[in-house]
Amino acid sequence: MKTLQIKDHNHWLDLRRKFIGASEIAALFFDSPYQTPLELYLIKSGKIESKNIDSERVEWGKKLEAPIAEKAASDLNVTLSDDNLYYMSTQCKKMGCTPDRLILDEDKKVVGVMEIKNVAVDQYMRWEDKNPPLYYEMQVQHQMECTDVKWGCNVFLVGGNKLVIKTYSRNQELIDEMIRKINAFWEDVEKQEMPKVCSDDFKLLDSIYQLKPESFIDMSESEDFNEACKSLNEVNLSIRELGRMHKDLKSQIANFSKGNSIVKGDGFTVYNQEISRKECKIKASVYRKMTLKIDKVMEI
């Protein structure tokens, strides 16, 4: 375990730019709800600025962090510490973090980490079997590696009045995979090789590639490009067919309903309502549209 004293907020931001932090690790596994590998690559390579996730829930999470930690410490019967250090892995030089709290033993030695979250009720209800998504555990496992400890926990304040604590033992197999992905990521940054794009990157790609009017590029020899176009065409055809099926089924149900507001079935209830829409003017804006045109008949 290596540490650095954080001088101020700007120093912390500088450290974040140079390391893969605990809140970023899930992006390398395509498992982050906040960031894609491409966005992380562009941030770390200095091509775009990191975006702040500002919301009222995040703001309240920061304000409530101390009392949540105090209650969790009481429930777990542990002693907590909140220092101003940046922790770095000794096995991966580009892996660092600032845990919300450190868990201490009787000799004031760091033995665990605690990550504190403020979670809305609807978000909690979507968790499968009431288990938090994997990206929460990834954050704690990352911090375990950087602080060289054997256990850690997520503490969730759900809906402002329910405390949920999830503890984890150190998962060395997962940590080893994190280290491998972090090392590969920084090698790609040095070589300026962009990672694979995913579905959430479409708007981001629009922002980094400025549209060139009347420009042309021939990609007819690119197998990857042609395969992507073929796949997109197949998906478009499937969407159209599903759209027709959707309208057909709604028509059948409307016919069964015969104008009734509520129609009860075996495990299903259909509600038919009239919705009044207010007149509104759409604000002028510019957006980019992509159209796939089939130049020749393709075998599907």
What span, in angstroms and rounded, lies between the C-alpha atoms of 228 and 292?
A: 11
Residues 13 and 84 in one domain: yes
**pLDDT in 10s for each residue of the chain, 300 residues:** 899 999 998 999 999 999 999 999 999 999 999 999 999 999 999 988 887 666 676 777 788 899 999 999 999 999 999 999 999 999 998 999 999 999 999 999 999 999 999 998 999 999 988 899 999 999 999 999 999 999 999 999 999 899 999 999 999 999 999 999 999 999 999 999 999 999 899 888 888 888 888 899 999 999 999 999 999 999 999 999 999 999 999 999 999 999 898 999 898 898 988 888 777 777 777 776 666 666 755 443
What span, in angstroms and rounded, lies between the C-alpha atoms of 163 and 159?
A: 9
Residues 130 and 75 in one domain: yes
Residues 113 and 153 in one domain: yes
Residue 196 included in any domain: no
Tokens representing 111 are 């033995």
Please give the C-alpha separations between residue 290 and each of 160, 211, 221, 287, in angstroms, as whole numbers. 44, 11, 21, 10
Residues 23 and 123 in one domain: yes
Domain boundary residue among 139, 170, 191? 191
Residues 150 and 262 in one domain: no
* Domain extent at residue 162: 2-191
Residues 133 and 276 in one domain: no
Q: Which candidate, 194, 189, 190, 225, places its Cα nearest to that of 209?
A: 194
Residues 20 and 168 in one domain: yes
Residues 163 and 233 in one domain: no
Model-level pTM? 0.80
Domain boundary residue among 142, 172, 191? 191
Question: What is the bridge-based pairing of β-strands 162-169 and 151-158?
Answer: antiparallel
- Count: domains in the chain: 2
Please give the C-alpha separations between residue 35 and each of 28, 47, 94, 197, in angstroms, as whole numbers. 9, 15, 18, 12
Residues 165 and 232 in one domain: no
Residues 178 and 246 in one domain: no
Residues 164 and 248 in one domain: no
Predicted pLDDT at 298:
46
Residue 208 included in any domain: no
What span, in angstroms and rounded, lies between the C-alpha atoms of 50 and 18?
A: 13
DSSP letters for 18-34: HSB-TTTGGGGGT--SS
Residue 162 included in any domain: yes
Residues 39 and 160 in one domain: yes
Residues pairing with 152 in the sheet? 113, 168
